[in-house]
Structure 1
């Protein structure tokens, strides 16, 4: 069954709205779950990358998170003030700032291991459904990243 063209302009037919609503709902769940760790969701993402990759230049950290340095710098300042990370100019390239976990930041990983399980449980999905959704969202992101609006609007 196809939706009549006029119905495509309904809010409930917009994939962007569904994704935004889901993102906001996730944010609410993460806010509650991460409160015990003393982290916001964006700070948690920074910590995930550092727990996985160790010390990184700010530029590479931003690339992993899809964040620019203007957005990332305030996050790092708050994490540094909380004693979870340090930032130092690179000895190899003084234009680059290296971010590394402190002992306290590394130890926080042990307390964070339950977060993904709690989030998965909050979705009401089984693990296969969570994995399938993540895979589909990754494909969607890749397709949108590769989209060329000029090529799409060119006459055939």
Structure 2
């Protein structure tokens, strides 16, 4: 899931953006976990997601203060992948979506699964999971298509099989 933030993402809005795999922003985007400003705690995943993205100390600072972060600071913190003008944001988001959609869906799904599971496992276990996934992925029609397309110097056409 990809978020394209072109404005203010506060509280639950920021949490929804954090729940996405990748976030892009316009240069007018602003982010805040403002719950504390009204005597609340993050109820929509911010306390879980934010530390995994920016680290615990930075997450605590943002959660405890509720301060706003502009698009460029969000980029520095790793909250967003890139910053664009409002006019470019939609096109850039669409380009990224198209690039991902043109990829091998089973491999893309496996990569996401491995990255997510890797947050909760040790390195050795992670490597074992990768080996198991690799065996499955290499047995797919998409894997064979990728190899054939490479040899034939053409773009692959993936079917998710």
- TM normalised by structure 1 equals 0.28
Task: Considering fraction of residues, name the structure with more helix.
Answer: 1
Larger relative contact order (CA 8 Å, sep ≥ 6)? 2
Task: Considering fraction of residues, name the structure with more strand.
Answer: 2
- TM normalised by structure 2 equals 0.28
